[in-house]
Copies of this chain bind each other. A is one copy, B any other.
Amino acid sequence: MKVCRRATFNAAHRLNREDWSGEKNVDVFGKCSNPNYHGHNYVLEVWLEGQIDPETGYVIDLKIIKDLIKEEISERFDHRNLNLDCKEFENLNPTAENIALVSWRLLRARLDEKYKLTIKLWETENNVVECDGE
């Protein structure tokens, strides 16, 4: 049995490697490397797999996940510049893949290990990633 809580956050980012030339960054990352950043409404789905607790009928109270997303994800990333404001991306390109991986690690550290955790992240309505571990 899996349960999911969905949330959104809005952030600016750019894709860029300091150790590459501007030319190479444009070659690889195109307009995503524009120097002054652009942004997205990220949509996050947090999925937990586990057993139904026969007492409550819950795998987990989704309010716990809602609060955890607020604490670990929204307060960190919402209305932020991922490159400039978030130490998690100081040396890590904030691609959708890496944002999902970082989110997975942040939530994994806060969850009982009996739950299997999967993160799904929409960067746009056409681009999605899914991460279920490292």
Instruction: Flag whether A87 is at the interface (Cβ < 8 A).
Output: no
Instruction: Please tell me if the beta carbons of A57 and B11 are within 8 angstroms of each other in the complex.
Output: no
Instruction: Check B127–A8 contact: CB distance below 8 A.
Output: no
Q: Which of A28, A58, A97 has the most CB of B within 10 A?
A: A97
Give complex CA distance A59, B96 in Å: 10
Contact A125–B95 (Cβ < 8 Å): no
Question: Which A positions have Cβ atoms within 8 angstroms of B?
Answer: 1-8, 10-13, 15, 17, 28-32, 34, 36-41, 45, 47, 52, 55-59, 61-63, 66, 78-81, 84-85, 92-98, 100-101, 124-131
29 A-B pairs whose Cβ atoms sit less than 8 Å apart in the complex: A1-B101, A1-B130, A1-B131, A2-B130, A3-B97, A4-B127, A4-B130, A5-B127, A6-B125, A6-B127, A10-B38, A11-B38, A12-B81, A13-B39, A17-B55, A31-B79, A34-B85, A37-B39, A37-B81, A39-B39, A39-B41, A40-B40, A40-B41, A45-B128, A52-B97, A52-B98, A57-B98, A58-B95, A59-B129
